[in-house]
Amino acid sequence: MSLPEILIWQALRQRPGGLKFRRQHPSGAYILDFYCMDARLAIEIDGSGHDDSARQCHDAARDAWFAAAEVATLRIAARDVLNDLDAVMTGIVAEAHARLPLHHPAAPGGPPPRDKLGEE
């Protein structure tokens, strides 16, 4: 991992905002830098190699593949991580929270759902 990826991982593994992230998460033919399953959010740290036009086409195709699977991709420039890690983390947490479902399914063995009128 590059230095910006190490810095992000050190922050993400602390479960900011109560969110769990995975690193180097395989998905299809791709490996995501970081992934929050609950928010269906992929985080990619892009170094200067991503400035090349061929690489940008590859990244766009990859992002489209994930979008078709309802996974959003948040691309962050490596220089932004190095310049202001706190701001980057605030943005990641905000984006992940915005993508969380409003309601979570009941836990297995939990109480039965309420009827249509909200009464038990």
Instruction: Indicate whether 37 pLDDT > 80.
Output: yes
Higher pLDDT residue, 11 or 68? Answer: 11
With a cut of 90, say whether residue 81 has pLDDT above it: yes
Region 92-107: what's the mean pLDDT?
81
Query: How many angstroms separate the Cα of 33 from the Cα of each of 41, 58, 106, 116, 118?
Result: 11, 15, 30, 42, 42
Structural domain count, the chain: 1
Give the DSSP letter of residue 50: G
Residue 83 lies in a domain: yes
- Has residue 102 been placed in a domain? no
Quote the crossing angle between the two packed helices 85-99 and 3-12, to the nearest 10°: 50
Candidate ranges 19-28, 32-41, 56-65, 111-120; pick with highest mean pLDDT: 32-41
Question: Can you give the pLDDT at residue 63?
Answer: 86
- Report yes or no on 110 lying in a domain: no
pLDDT score for 77: 93
Residue 111's pLDDT is 61
For residue 118, being part of any structural domain is answered with no
Q: Which domain holds residue 48?
A: 3-96
pLDDT recorded at residue 104: 59
Confidence of residue 85 (pLDDT cuts 50, 70, 90): very high
* C-alpha to C-alpha distance for 93 and 19, rounded to whole angstroms: 8
In a domain, 116, yes or no: no
Whether the per-residue pLDDT at 120 is higher than 50: the answer is no
Which contacts (CB < 8 Å, 24+ apart) does range 105-111 have? Answer: none
CA distance linking residue 2 with residue 11, whole number of Å: 14
In a domain, 91, yes or no: yes
The CATH number for 22's domain is 3.40.960.10
pTM of the model: 0.76
Mean pLDDT for the chain overall: 84
Query: Tell me, what's the pLDDT at 65?
Result: 87
